[in-house]
Amino acid sequence: MKILVCTLLFSLISILFQTGTAMAEEIQSLRGSVGVDEESEMIPNRRTMAVDGGIDVNYEDQPPLIPHSIDKTRITLDENSCLGCHSKENQKITNAVRPPKSHYRTREGKKLRQITTGRYFCTQCHVPQAYTKPLVNNDFKN
């Protein structure tokens, strides 16, 4: 009897599991159906959304989205081309938005003359947007 119940339970769980996987398969990532261990095709470069005056944030303290293309910018150990326009000195000429005071403070709150290392890799937090169809619906409300 015990064995029968166990087998039944096992079949039920595996059916549930299979339906779950089938449902998950309907959502396709940008890689398509290419396995993670296989080389995928490069995804086509999408046109970046350029929005005059910036893109509204959705919640308090959100890193604002980048409202312009960053295809030509490079952030390496030696150069950060975002700062070519956004640094305190250059933004006076380029009219790019000046990074807030938080970006010129260490984790301990000490003021610095330069962008703190914790904020050096801008695209860790700030990202541009492209004209694409969302992969999944999202009804997040602020």
Residue ranges that bind ligand HEC, judged by CB under 6 A: 52-54, 61, 63-64, 66-68, 70, 73, 80-86, 94-97, 99-100, 102-103, 115, 119-126
Closest CB to ligand HEC among 57 and 135? 57
What are the structure tokens assigned to 118, written together? 């914790």
Least Cα distance to 125 among 72, 35, 57, 79 occurs for 57
Q: Closest approach of Cβ 128 to ligand HEC, in Å?
A: 8
Q: Closest approach of Cβ 85 to ligand HEC, in Å?
A: 3
Closest CB to ligand HEC among 20 and 54? 54
Q: Closest approach of Cβ 3 to ligand HEC, in Å?
A: 56
Q: Closest approach of Cβ 125 to ligand HEC, in Å?
A: 3
The three-class DSSP label of residue 68 is: coil
Closest CB to ligand HEC among 39 and 52? 52
Report whether 98 contacts 86 (CB < 8 A). yes
Least Cα distance to 44 among 137, 132, 128 occurs for 132
Sort 67 into a burial class: Cβ within 10 Å, 0-12 / 13-18 / 19+: middle
Closest CB to ligand HEC among 29 and 114? 114
Q: Cα–Cα distance between 137 and 113 in angstroms, integer?
A: 43
